[in-house]
Amino acid sequence: MRRILVLGGGTAGTLVANLLARELGAEIMKGDVEITLLDEDGNHVFQPNLLYTSFKGMKPEKIVRPEKKLLHKRINFSIDRVTKINFTNNKVITESNKTYIYDDLIIAVGSKIARDEILGFDEANLDFHSSQENALKVWERIQEIRKGKVVVGVSAFPHKCPPAPVEAAFLLEEFFKKRKLKDNVEIHFITPISRPYPDPTISNTIERHFKERGIIIHPFFNIDRVDSEKKIIYSLEGTDLEFEAMFVVPPHKAPQAIIDSKIGDEDGWIPTDKYTLLVNGQKNVYAIGDVADLRTSKSGVTAHLEAVVVARNIIADIRQTGERCKFTGRTHCPMDVGYGKALFVISTYDKAAKDAKPTRRNLLMKKAFAQMYWTAVGGSLEWLFDRYFGEDARECFIEEPI
C-alpha cells in the first residue's frame, strides 16, 4: 500500500489530490494506493473573489464551498489541523492527536497573515486578503468614507497574489470616482521597494496608469508602526502618512505547523527544488503553492500548474513509466485595473514579464476562469489548460534507464 498524504485543501492540495484520485482509480480500488487529504477547517475559499467582496460588494457566501464536495470520492478526507511534520519518521501529527504515516507527502498548506508583525497595524488596518468576513468589513468601511487619505499597498514581501494590492488601488479609484468623491478622497499606495510592482516592466505600466488616475505612490515605505488613534503610519525611513482608512496587505508567513516543525526558513517558507517541487533533501516530500519558497508568484494559477507537475511525477513513479516533469515557474496573474479592463502578468523562471495592455477581453478571461474554478479544482479541465499553457508550464520527458 502506497500512502499519499496531502496537507491543505486549497487550490494546490485539492487539485493534486483530485488528479491523483482520478488517474489512480484502479490502484486505489485494488488497495495498492491510498490518498488522504487533511484540511484545518473544511471550507474552500476562491480567494481571487475576496477582492470583489471588498471593492464591489460580491456576496461572501458566493465564494466559498465545502471542501468535501470538491474532492473525488476515492480520497479520504478529514478536517483536522496539522500541528507537526516529521520527515525523519514520515509522520504527520494533527490537533486531534492523530498520527498519519506517509510514503509520499504533499505539503500545500498555503500562507497566513502575520497580524502582529507590525506594532499597531492590525488595529488600524482592514485587510481584503485573509477571509470573507474581513473582506466584507472592507466593503462596509468604504461606503462610509467621504474624504481624506485612503492608504493601500504592501507591508512586506512575499505575499500572495502580487497584483492584489495594485488592483485594490485601481478598484478604489473607480469606486470613489463613480460616487463623485474623487475630489475629496486621495488614494496613496505604499510599498517597501522602489516601484509599485516587483517586475519593472509591469511596474512602468502601473505607474503610468496610477499617474493618470491620481494614485500617489510612496516607494521605500517600510512600515515601522501605526498609531490607530492618531491615524498615522510611521515608516522606518522617517516619513509618516496620515490616513482616513487603511487597506494594506499585511505581512505573510507560512502556517504555524511549518514553523513549529522547523522545515522552513524563519518565516516558514519551505526550501523547495524549483523544477521538481521536491522539498530540498527529501525524495518523497513535495511543497506546492504558497508555502514553497520558490521565486515565482504566490498565486492560484502557479499553485495549479505545480499540482499538475507533482501529480504526473507521482503517477509516473507508481506506474514506473519513466516520465519526469519539471515546472517552468509559469505565472499568469490577472490584474483588474477597473473600468472593465484587466492585464495579465505572464512569466516563467527564464522569461521576464512582457509589457501588457489592459483590455476588456482580459477581464472577461479572468471572470471566465472564476466561473470555471470549482470544476477546475476537480481536475477535469486539464485538457483545456494543457492547450492554453502548453509547454510553457512544464517540460516532460522520458528518463533514460541508467
Which x/- pattern over 56-85 shows residues binding ligand FAD (rule: CB under 6 A)? -------------------------xx---
Do 51 and 136 meet the contact criterion of CB atoms below 8 Å apart? no
Report CA 18 to chain centroid distance, whole Å.
19
Cα angle 239, 243, 248 (rounded to 5 degrees) comes to 85
How far is residue 217's CA from residue 239's CA, in Å, rounded to a whole number? 13
Minimum distance of ligand FAD from residue 360's CB (angstroms): 17
47 makes contact with ligand FAD (CB under 6 A): yes
48 binds ligand FAD (CB under 6 A): yes
How big is the chain, counted in residues? 402
Residue among 4, 5, 6, 11 that touches ligand FAD (CB under 6 A): 11
What does each C-alpha distance from 173 to 44, 111, 143 come to in angstroms? 30, 28, 13
d(CA 270, CA 109): 11
Cβ atoms of 153 and 218 closer than 8 Å: yes
Of these, 5, 9, 118, 170, which contacts ligand FAD (CB under 6 A)?
9
How many C-alpha atoms does 381 have within 13 Å on its Cβ side? 16
Q: Which residue do the cell numbers 520527515 mark? A: 87
Q: What is the DSSP letter of 202?
A: H
Closer Cβ to ligand FAD, 166 or 223, answer by number: 166
DSSP string, 321-352: --EEEEE---EEEEEEEETTEEEEEEE-SSSP
Closer of 11 and 205 to ligand FAD (Cβ) = 11
Binding part of the chain for ligand FAD, among 39-47, 189-197, 201-209, 213-221 by CB under 6 A, reads: 39-47
The answer to the question of residue 338 lying near ligand FAD (CB under 6 A) is no
Nearer to ligand FAD, 7 or 156 (CB): 7
Contacts with ligand FAD in 301-330 (CB under 6 A)? 301, 303
What would the grid cell of residue 281 be? 533533501
- Strands 240-242 and 232-235 turn out to be antiparallel
CB distance 316 to 323 below 8 Å: yes
User: Is there binding between residue 343 and ligand FAD (CB under 6 A)?
Assistant: no
Q: 50, 63, 107, 185: which one contacts ligand FAD (CB under 6 A)?
A: 50
Site for ligand FAD contains 251 (CB under 6 A): no
What string marks each residue from 148 to 187 as x (binds ligand FAD by CB under 6 A) or -?
Answer: ------------xx--x-----------------------
Does 334 interact with ligand FAD (rule: CB under 6 A)? yes
Cis peptide before 158 (omega within 30 of 0): yes
Q: Cβ of residue 336: shortest distance to ligand FAD, in angstroms?
A: 8
378 binds ligand FAD (CB under 6 A): no
Q: Smallest gap, in angstroms, from Cβ of residue 334 to ligand FAD? A: 5
Question: 55, 52, 72: which is closest to 63 by C-alpha?
Answer: 52
The grid coordinates of residue 119 equal: 506594532
- Is residue 41 a contact residue for ligand FAD (CB under 6 A)? yes
Using CB under 6 A, count the residues that bind ligand FAD. Answer: 37
Nearer to ligand FAD, 27 or 75 (CB): 75
* 6-14, 69-77, 209-217, 231-239 -> range binding ligand FAD (CB under 6 A): 6-14
Residue in 185, 202, 333, 346 binding ligand FAD, rule: CB under 6 A: 333
Return the residues of window 112-151 that contact ligand FAD according to CB under 6 A: 128-129
What does the buried/exposed string (b/e) look like for 216-247 if buried means 16 or more CB atoms within 10 Å of the residue's CB? ebbeebebbbbebeebebbbeeeeebebbbbb
Q: Does 346 bind ligand FAD (CB under 6 A)?
A: no
What is the chain's Cα-based Rg?
21
Tell which one of 247, 290, 353, 394 touches ligand FAD (CB under 6 A). Answer: 290
Q: Measured from the CB atom, is 232 or 278 closer to ligand FAD?
A: 278
- Go through 7-37 and write b for each residue having 16 or more CB atoms within 10 A of its CB, e for each that does not: bbbbbbbbbbbbbbbebbeebbeeeebbbbb
Cell representation of residue 126 = 482592514
**Looking at beta carbons, which residue is closest to ligand FAD?**
10
